[in-house]
Amino acid sequence: MTHQTIIPAFRANDAQALIDWLRDTFGFTERMIVPDGNGGIAHAELEWRGSLVMLGSARDQVDSLNETIGKASISLTAESNEQVDELYRRAQDAGATIPVPMEDTDYGSHAFMARDPEGNFWHFGTYDPLEPQAE
């Protein structure tokens, strides 16, 4: 397994609710959750198919990551069309906004984009940019 060297990080107004939503809707697993002592999350690491995202609660003090609330856009590669279809169903069942409905793209991906309750965009598809492409 290659080592992930780019890890998205962002803040959420209600980090615990977002963590719960990502777990229940898309199957993320909680790798690390560090409470901040004030009812929020200081640091969380969520895993999906061997990749991580990090997030935490919005902070009162000036923090450039607070500017990311509701603005993150993350793309994840699924194992199969069937997995993407299942994630799409789960997103719809969870009431997610779907700005890009299921489609088969011109670059060979079976994909969709959902928006979480905080406003972040989650793109799931079968296209893997790290796989060698046929010439």
Q: Is the pLDDT of residue 51 over 90?
A: yes
Tokens of 128: 């893997």
Residue 86 has pLDDT above 90, yes or no: yes
Third-level CATH fold of 9-58+69-125: 2,3-Dihydroxybiphenyl 1,2-Dioxygenase; domain 1 (3.10.180)
What is the rounded average pLDDT for all residues in the chain?
Answer: 92
- Among 16, 14, 75, smallest CA distance to 49 is for 75
Q: How much is the pLDDT for 104?
A: 98
Domain boundaries defined on the chain: 9-58+69-125
How far apart are alpha carbons 84 and 86 in whole angstroms? Answer: 5
